[in-house]
């Protein structure tokens, strides 16, 4: 067995040597025989002639010698491949390769991304029974509290129970420098609940939060920081400026609560975290023997007993991971998935369609080969090799494309979006194989079709240039036109929303925000509920924080507030009413109330339009409103000195500032009142820097000395926040553009295939027309008319689909609507251009139909 | 008068193995040796020799090496491998059994029926 394999291998690898040696051996055989004959008395030339004659035909003996070593098959395969490579010079074959690569690459990349972000379940133990439990009603949500957590835990209604304070970033100091990495603070038992098994060391115990500062690190951090050495367990690592002892290492496969969490810290009941969420997140495993509705009903009852304010709300289960699609964008999801499948289908159809363009030529070529005595099997094998080569090249480029697209998505999608999934964004091989399989079937079947048809027909009828009828059969015509109309409709249906989304994006980038976001960083902070429980100690912590941050290089000013001006909603959202001189309330307007320090407008560089900014001596009733509120209530008079009501409170307007444009125009306007230091257990400060602001790590590091009373939550540059606001529109616009472009190319390719085929079939007709004196222009018009009818039909159907699709995507549009005439004009122009481009070559072919040539061919 | 006969199917391989088993030979030498040891009883078509040699090599029964022949020409020599030796032994045994059986059958007389 091995001997034979080696023999095959030798023969294939050392093929040239094999041939040379065979030549030499056979030649020397003949010469030796001739020598013997010469010795026996025959003259040399006669001896050689006789020797050759008796030896037999050298080429056929060589064939026989090659056969046992498998070289014959190889020879044929090589021949077919050479033939196939030669046929690649035909441009339509390259188009087929491109279509295939696009189909495979685009579909695999899109579905892989969808799968990783939205579809794939998390890989924890009994994952379907794991969930977060929250208490809320349709329009209100209860704060989670440790009291509720304890009551639920003790009730024993859940199979397993854990808690987490949420996740945020910490500053880790290693030899490589400062790193800001995601961390999570969890209660003992949470890791067990999720089925995490440490690679080294242990998980957390109940004593850990009290015993000292301990952490569990990720395998990645273990590899980077400790070279995967066992000494890591028990070693110390600097987290947020404090040494912590490593007690365990979790494997790379364990990703929670985000896919890139690298540090886990233990918390005890009652702990508080940074950010505005003070309570624990409740993680549970539902019992397998009790329906989850029943468990939730019990949980709701307990919640009502513990906290009377939750009456009217219900305990609900929330996904542990995975992107929760906003409801207004939910309707776009099936549209996107359907769009991907349709584009894939269209691309595959096109690959088949492209081989149609040469159907007539190839059928004739096959028939000719058969007439010359080529075996049918060989012809079919040849056709197979040819389409398989197209398939393999297309698939290879497709894999590379898919890989690149996903790498691009990884680099380009915002971190906050990627973090919603616990899966890393990688190429999904299953999808890739399915896509390749389907695409290859389409290629091979369409490639084999002419060969099979030709080898079935008798040579005479195949060789004829055109059938007597001259034009396409009715059914073929209807089918092929329907196929192109479908593709054109698809292109139109994708082009319209694409243009709307691109214009939405451009509108969003062009908006004047009303403030200068460069060199501004925003830090959300939380005051400790025990060490900074009262306003005065919170105010002290705030002053200290201001000093620490202001001392950083490049920091110009620091201003405190509750919330930021770009907020879409806030802790104080309510109705504003105008109150006239006689105390009568007027119409209302939803607005966000923000408390800001007196230097806030300076730091943000929000221009004052009228009146003055807030002053230190102002009381709570003095407010500054933005232009939108002013325009709503005070069109008739100057707003300065006028009265407003916000909820029950009566307010006096002292100034008007420019409106800060939020991401959506429908978000409420803002009114500002004075910020009182230490009033609330949370606040925001904004840093104005001379140039670039200090990095997140530096700011956090600076705040570490007062960490016991104040903790930093999110730290973010305002420009980044604005950029992040633009991410979703940018993603939508780019994805739409990509698909619309592909759909357009597909439609143009489909039109080209069908027209080429039709022209091929009608050559006889065109020849006769030309012979009877028809001008070539008239013939060209015939082809163009065919193309235009198809396009108009596609455009008509596509418009309906576009209308429907655009209505599904209204949530993603900004500043444009489906009725926008400019987008429609652009669509019609683009489609007309594509139609003309696709018809160009078939039209030229038709116009060049020469009756003399046609006659000769028959 | 031509006394040679056509080879029985399948016997060429055995004769080649036998010829090579006596001494390493080049292709033409194999032909001569087979004719010599069979006393020119068989007519071997020269062309059919080589596909048989290549097949036997591929099956691992023969090994090849390049050397110099008696008249100072470069030639490819065939030698018997261990597998080839086993095959020759098996084929010989089978041949003897078959020929003995056929001989016995042909020697049968009407008395023995």
Per-residue pLDDT tens over the stretch A401-428: 989 988 888 777 766 566 656 667 778 8
| In the predicted structure, residue A259 carries a pLDDT above the cut 80 | no
| In the predicted structure, residue A162 carries a pLDDT above the cut 80 | yes
| In the predicted structure, residue A496 carries a pLDDT above the cut 90 | no
pLDDT of res. A246: 92
**From B54, B74, B83, residue closest to A65, measured CB to CB:** B54
Residue of A nearest to B70 (CA): A32
pLDDT of res. A297: 92
State percent of chain A over pLDDT 70.
86
Q: Do B46 and A32 touch (CB under 8 A)?
A: no
Can you list the alpha helix ranges (DSSP code H) found in A421-529?
Answer: 429-456, 459-463, 474-510
> In the numeric block, which tokens belong to residue A114?
């969808």
Please give the Cα distance from A614 to A677 (Å, whole number).
15
pLDDT of res. A296: 92
| In the predicted structure, residue A332 carries a pLDDT above the cut 70 | no
Q: Do B55 and A3 touch (CB under 8 A)?
A: no
| In the predicted structure, residue A567 carries a pLDDT above the cut 70 | no
Q: A433 with A137: CB under 8 angstroms?
A: no
Higher pLDDT, A207 or A647: A207
pLDDT of res. A275: 45
> In the numeric block, which tokens belong to residue A172?
């880790």
**From A24, A55, A68, residue closest to B46, measured CB to CB:** A55
**From A3, A57, A65, residue closest to B50, measured CB to CB:** A65
Confidence of residue A483 (pLDDT cuts 50, 70, 90): confident
Average pLDDT for chain A = 80
Q: For residues A481-491, give the mean pLDDT.
A: 83
| In the predicted structure, residue A77 carries a pLDDT above the cut 70 | yes
List the beta bridge partners of residue A572.
A593
Higher pLDDT, B86 or A426: B86
Chain A closest CA to B88's CA: distance in Å? Answer: 18
| In the predicted structure, residue A569 carries a pLDDT above the cut 90 | no
Q: A563 with A658: CB under 8 angstroms?
A: no
**From B31, B45, B73, residue closest to A28, measured CB to CB:** B73
pLDDT of res. A325: 47
A556 lies within 8 A of chain B by CB: no
> In the numeric block, which tokens belong to residue A388?
């398989």
Residue of B nearest to A28 (CA): B75
Q: Which residue has tokens 């243009």?
A: A499
**From B51, B60, B75, residue closest to A65, measured CB to CB:** B51
Residues of A in contact with B45 (CB under 8 A): 56
pLDDT of res. A322: 52
Most confident of A40-54, A101-115, A664-678: A40-54
**From B27, B58, B76, residue closest to A4, measured CB to CB:** B58
Chain A closest CA to B81's CA: distance in Å? Answer: 12
pLDDT of res. A276: 43
E strand or H helix that includes residue A162: strand A160-174
Higher pLDDT, B1 or A215: A215
E strand or H helix that includes residue B42: strand B42-43
Q: For residues A137-150, give the mean pLDDT.
A: 78
A32 lies within 8 A of chain B by CB: yes
Residues of B in contact with A25 (CB under 8 A): 26-27, 50, 75-76
Helix, strand, or coil (residue A783): helix
Residues of B in contact with A7 (CB under 8 A): 57-58, 60
Chain B closest CA to A25's CA: distance in Å? Answer: 7
Q: What is the pLDDT of residues A291-304, one digit of tens each?
A: 989 999 999 999 99
Q: Do B60 and A54 touch (CB under 8 A)?
A: no
Q: How many CB atoms lie within 10 A of CB A60?
A: 11
Please give the Cα distance from A271 to A280 (Å, whole number).
8
Residues of B in contact with A26 (CB under 8 A): 50
| In the predicted structure, residue A655 carries a pLDDT above the cut 90 | yes
State percent of chain A over pLDDT 90.
10
Q: For residues A18-33, give the mean pLDDT.
A: 88
Higher pLDDT, A45 or A804: A45
Phi, psi torsion values for A281, nearest 5 degrees: -90, 135
Q: Do B50 and A61 touch (CB under 8 A)?
A: yes
| In the predicted structure, residue A502 carries a pLDDT above the cut 60 | yes
Confidence of residue A281 (pLDDT cuts 50, 70, 90): confident
3-state helix, strand, coil in chain B (%, to 5): 55, 20, 25
Q: Which residue has tokens 């490593």?
A: A246
pLDDT of res. A421: 63
Q: How many CB atoms lie within 10 A of CB A497?
A: 31
pLDDT of res. A568: 61
Residue of B nearest to A70 (CA): B58
Residue of B nearest to A3 (CA): B60
Q: Do A33 and B27 touch (CB under 8 A)?
A: no
First to last CA, chain B: 38
> In the numeric block, which tokens belong to residue A155?
């009730």
Concatenate the DSSP letters of all residues of B57-94 into one string. Answer: HHTTSEEEEEEE-TTS-EEEEEEE-HHHHHHHHHHHHH
Residues of B in contact with A55 (CB under 8 A): 46-47
Q: Do B58 and A57 touch (CB under 8 A)?
A: no
**From A28, A35, A56, residue closest to B46, measured CB to CB:** A56
Q: For residues A437-446, give the mean pLDDT.
A: 81
| In the predicted structure, residue A665 carries a pLDDT above the cut 70 | no
pLDDT of res. B93: 93
pLDDT of res. A72: 66
Please give the Cα distance from A560 to A524 (Å, whole number).
10
A29 lies within 8 A of chain B by CB: yes
Residues of A in contact with B76 (CB under 8 A): 21, 24-25
Confidence of residue A465 (pLDDT cuts 50, 70, 90): very low
Please give the Cα distance from A828 to A480 (Å, whole number).
22
Q: For residues B27-46, give the mean pLDDT.
A: 85
Chain A closest CA to B9's CA: distance in Å? Answer: 17
Q: What is the pLDDT of residues A51-68, one digit of tens each?
A: 998 888 888 888 888 877
| In the predicted structure, residue A323 carries a pLDDT above the cut 70 | no
Sign of CA dihedral A537, A539, A543, A548: positive
Q: What are B's interface residues with A at a Cβ cutoff of 8 A?
A: 26-28, 31, 45-48, 50-51, 54-55, 57-60, 71, 73-76, 83
Residues of A in contact with B73 (CB under 8 A): 28, 32
**From B47, B57, B59, residue closest to A55, measured CB to CB:** B47
Q: Do A33 and B46 touch (CB under 8 A)?
A: yes
Q: Do A69 and B50 touch (CB under 8 A)?
A: no
Please give the Cα distance from A194 to A126 (Å, whole number).
8
Q: What is the pLDDT of residues A244-255, one digit of tens each?
A: 899 999 988 787
Chain A closest CA to B96's CA: distance in Å? Answer: 28
A28 lies within 8 A of chain B by CB: yes
> In the numeric block, which tokens belong to residue A346?
């269209």
Q: What is the pLDDT of residues A187-211, one digit of tens each?
A: 988 999 888 889 999 999 888 888 7
Sign of CA dihedral A406, A411, A416, A421: positive
Q: Do B50 and A33 touch (CB under 8 A)?
A: no
- Report how many Cβ contacts below 8 Å link chain A to chain B: 58
Max Cα-Cα span within chain A = 144
pLDDT of res. A419: 60
Please give the Cα distance from A187 to A279 (Å, whole number).
13
C-alpha B7: how far from chain center: 10
| In the predicted structure, residue A431 carries a pLDDT above the cut 70 | yes
| In the predicted structure, residue A469 carries a pLDDT above the cut 50 | no
Residues of B in contact with A64 (CB under 8 A): 48, 50-51
Q: Do A65 and B75 touch (CB under 8 A)?
A: no
Chain A closest CA to B84's CA: distance in Å? Answer: 13
Query: Cis before residue B62, ω within 30 degrees of 0?
Result: no
Chain B closest CA to A48's CA: distance in Å? Answer: 14
pLDDT of res. A584: 74
Can you list the alpha helix ranges (DSSP code H) found in A143-281?
Answer: 146-155, 190-193, 208-211, 219-226
Q: What is the CA radius of gyration of chain B?
A: 17
A128 lies within 8 A of chain B by CB: no
């Amino acid at each position: 067995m091995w001997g034979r394999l080696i023999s095959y291998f030798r023969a294939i690898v050392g093929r040239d040597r094999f041939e040379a040696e065979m030549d030499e051996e056979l030649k020397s055989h003949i010469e030796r025989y001739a020598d013997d004959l010469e010795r026996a008395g025959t003259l040399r030339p006669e001896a050689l002639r006789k020797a050759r004659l008796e030896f037999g035909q050298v080429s056929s003996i060589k064939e026989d010698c090659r056969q046992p070593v498998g070289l014959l098959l190889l020879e044929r395969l090589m021949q077919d491949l050479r033939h196939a490579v030669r046929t690649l010079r035909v441009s339509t074959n390259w188009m087929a390769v491109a279509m295939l690569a696009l189909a495979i690459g685009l579909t695999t990349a899109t579905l892989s991304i969808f799968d990783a972000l939205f579809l794939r379940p998390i890989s924890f133990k009994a994952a379907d029974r794991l969930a977060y439990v929250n208490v809320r009603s349709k329009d209100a949500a209860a704060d989670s509290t440790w009291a509720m957590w304890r009551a639920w835990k003790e009730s024993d209604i859940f199979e397993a129970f854990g808690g987490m304070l949420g996740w945020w970033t910490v500053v880790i100091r290693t030899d490589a420098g400062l790193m800001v990495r995601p961390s999570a603070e969890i209660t003992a038992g949470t890791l067990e609940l999720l089925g995490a098994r440490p690679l080294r060391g242990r998980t957390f115990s109940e004593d850990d939060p009290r015993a000292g500062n301990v952490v569990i690190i990720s395998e990645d951090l273990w590899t980077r920081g400790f070279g995967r050495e066992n000494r890591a367990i028990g070693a110390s690592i600097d987290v947020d400026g404090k040494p912590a002892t490593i007690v365990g290492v979790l494997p790379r496969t364990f990703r929670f609560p985000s896919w890139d969490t690298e540090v886990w810290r233990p918390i005890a009941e009652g702990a508080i975290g940074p950010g505005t969420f003070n309570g624990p997140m409740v993680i549970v495993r539902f019992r397998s023997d009790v329906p989850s509705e029943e468990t939730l009903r019990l949980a709701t009852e307990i919640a009502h007993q513990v906290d009377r304010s939750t009456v009217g709300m219900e305990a609900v289960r929330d996904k542990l991971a995975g992107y929760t699609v906003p409801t207004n964008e939910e309707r776009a999801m099936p549209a996107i998935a359907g769009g991907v499948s349709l584009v894939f289908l269209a691309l595959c159809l096109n690959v088949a369609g492209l081989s149609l363009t040469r159907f007539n030529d190839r059928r004739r070529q096959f028939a000719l080969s058969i007439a010359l005595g080529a075996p049918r099997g060989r012809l079919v094998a040849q056709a197979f090799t040819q389409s398989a080569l197209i398939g393999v090249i297309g698939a290879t480029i497709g894999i590379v494309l898919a890989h690149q697209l996903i790498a691009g998505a990884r680099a380009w999608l915002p971190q906050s979006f990627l973090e919603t999934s616990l899966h890393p964004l990688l190429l999904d091989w299953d999808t890739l194989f399915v896509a390749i399989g389907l695409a290859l079937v389409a290629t091979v079947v369409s490639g084999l079709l002419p060969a099979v048809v030709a080898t079935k027909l008798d040579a005479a009828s195949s060789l004829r240039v055109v059938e007597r009828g001259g034009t396409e059969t009715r059914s073929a015509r209807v089918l092929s036109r329907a196929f192109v109309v479908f593709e054109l409709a698809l292109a139109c249906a994708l082009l319209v929303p694409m243009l709307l989304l691109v214009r939405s994006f451009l509108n969003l980038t062009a908006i004047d925000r009303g403030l200068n976001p460069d060199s501004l960083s925003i830090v959300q902070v939380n005051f400790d509920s025990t060490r900074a429980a009262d306003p005065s100690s919170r105010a002290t912590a705030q002053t200290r924080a201001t000093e620490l941050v202001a001392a950083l290089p490049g920091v110009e000013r620091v201003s405190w507030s509750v919330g930021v001006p770009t907020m879409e909603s806030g802790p104080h959202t309510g109705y504003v009413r105008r109150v006239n001189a006689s105390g009568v309330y007027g119409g209302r307007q939803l607005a966000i109330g923000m408390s800001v320090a007196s230097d806030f407008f300076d730091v943000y560089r929000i221009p004052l339009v009228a009146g003055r900014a807030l002053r230190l001596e102002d009381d709570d009733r003095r407010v500054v409103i933005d232009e939108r509120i002013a325009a709503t209530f005070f069109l008739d008079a100057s707003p300065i000195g006028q009265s407003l009501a916000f909820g029950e409170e009566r307010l006096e307007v002292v100034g008007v500032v420019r409106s800060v444009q939020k991401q959506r125009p429908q978000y409420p306007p803002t009114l500002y009142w004075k910020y009182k230091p230490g009033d609330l257990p949370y606040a925001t400060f904004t840093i104005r820097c001379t140039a670039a602001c200090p990095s997140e790590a530096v700011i956090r590091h600076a705040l570490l000395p007062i960490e016991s009373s104040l903790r930093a939550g999110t730290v973010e540059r305002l420009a980044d926040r604005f950029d992040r606001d633009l991410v979703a529109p940018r993603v939508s616009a780019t994805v739409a553009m990509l698909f619309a472009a592909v759909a357009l190319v597909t439609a143009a390719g489909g039109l080209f295939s069908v027209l080429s085929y039709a022209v091929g079939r009608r050559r006889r007709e065109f020849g006769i027309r030309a012979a009877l004196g028809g001008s070539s222009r008239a013939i060209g018009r015939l082809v163009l008319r065919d193309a235009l009818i198809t396009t108009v039909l596609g455009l008509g159907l596509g418009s309906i689909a576009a209308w429907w699709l655009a209505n599904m995507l209204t949530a993603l549009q900004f500043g444009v609507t489906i009725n926008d005439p400019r987008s429609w004009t652009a669509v019609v122009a683009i489609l007309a251009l594509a139609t003309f481009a696709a018809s160009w070559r078939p039209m030229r072919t038709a116009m060049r139909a020469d009756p003399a040539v046609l006659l000769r061919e028959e | 008068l031509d006394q040679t006969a056509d080879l029985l199917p399948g016997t060429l391989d055995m004769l080649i193995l036998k010829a090579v088993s006596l001494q390493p030979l080049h292709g033409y030498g194999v032909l001569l040796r087979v004719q010599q040891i069979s006393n020119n009883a068989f007519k071997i078509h020269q062309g059919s020799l080589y596909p048989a040699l290549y097949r036997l090599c591929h099956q691992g029964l023969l090994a090849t090496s390049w050397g110099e022949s008696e008249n100072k020409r470069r030639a490819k020599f065939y030698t018997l491998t261990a597998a080839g030796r086993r095959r020759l032994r098996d084929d010989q045994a089978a041949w003897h059994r078959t020929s003995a059986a056929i001989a016995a059958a042909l020697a049968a007389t009407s008395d023995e029926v």
